[in-house]
Amino acid sequence: MVLSPRLRWTLRILTILGLAFLYIPLLLVIVNAFNSSRTFAFPPSGFTLRWWSDTWHSSGARTALWTSVKAGLGATAIALVLGTCAAFAVQRYKFFGRSTVSFLVILPIALPGIVTGIALNAAFRNEFGDNGFGLRTIIIGHATFCVVIVFNNVQARLRRMGGALEEASRDLGATGLQTFRYVTLPNLRGALLAGALLAFGLSFDEIVVTTFTSGPGTQTLPLWIFGNLFRPNQAPVVNVVAAVLIVVAVVPVWVAQKVSDGAEQSRF
């Protein structure tokens, strides 16, 4: 195909426009984190760091952040185990119902959050009673749709690896467990890390299912944001929290990219 200069430039401009579309609202959020107007009039009426100190002292935001981190870690841990098991089963074995597994695993994430939320809410009420809602139910709810992310990443990696290395290891006399520990796992590290980061990010920002699976006393960060989004005194604090999230987010995204590119070197 002829990559004419005209084509290059058209695509370059379209990409820049696309990125602008993505980032202008985010820049607005960051600007508003310093905007001295509480209702975010545009143009900003002044510069202030007041909201940053308010956020620092906001116990509601801190508690919610910590709850979100705990829920994310829990859900990611479960997803790592379950997703890897399922990926191995599907990729390395032939069994009845194999193609259905991918379909079933993707359901929690494909179905609208409100459907998952209502269904899980009723199930948890039956299982744990009216007052059994809390961090535990949030983690289980998040795990249902985090599994598929780890599953897909690990499955893709296993597919690319092929079984050759593992066969060779078994030929050389290693047991299944040794093969897994010394051969498979190191090669999977990239996929596991990428899957874990994506799963954590997903759980961290999820709101719909969480609305239906949390109890009265537990608030994740999105729930806290939702409750404070319109409140005149709290909305600037929400902006600060969001601005921090945006800036901090570059780190895990960059790490995930580096890791999945680094895996390239292990191939031969």
Task: Name the nearest CA neighbour of 189 among 224, 239, 154.
Answer: 154
Given 128, 170, 174, 187, the residue binding another protein (CB under 8 A): 170
Q: In whole angstroms, how close is the CB of 135 to another protein at the nearest point?
A: 15
Given 48, 62, 77, 215, the residue binding another protein (CB under 8 A): 215
Q: Which of the residues 16 through 45 are near another protein (CB under 8 A)?
A: 18-19, 21-26, 28-29, 32, 38-43
Q: Which of the residues 131 through 150 are near another protein (CB under 8 A)?
A: 131, 133, 140, 143-145, 147-149
Residue 237's contacts (CB-CB under 8 Å, 6 or more residues apart) are 51, 54, 55, 58, 61, 228
Cβ closest to another protein, residue 62 vs residue 170: 170
On the 0-12 / 13-18 / 19+ scale of CB atoms within 10 A, 191 is: buried
Does residue number 168 form part of the binding site for another protein (CB under 8 A)? no
Q: In whole angstroms, how close is the CB of 180 to another protein at the nearest point?
A: 11
**Contact string (CB under 8 A) for another protein, positions 222-241, x = contact:** x--xxx-xxxxxx---xx-x
Cβ closest to another protein, residue 46 vs residue 164: 164
Q: In whole angstroms, how close is the CB of 182 to another protein at the nearest point?
A: 18
Q: Which of the residues 77 through 106 are near another protein (CB under 8 A)?
A: 78, 81-83, 85-86, 88-89, 91-97, 100-106
Cβ closest to another protein, residue 49 vs residue 81: 81
Q: In whole angstroms, how close is the CB of 49 to another protein at the nearest point?
A: 19
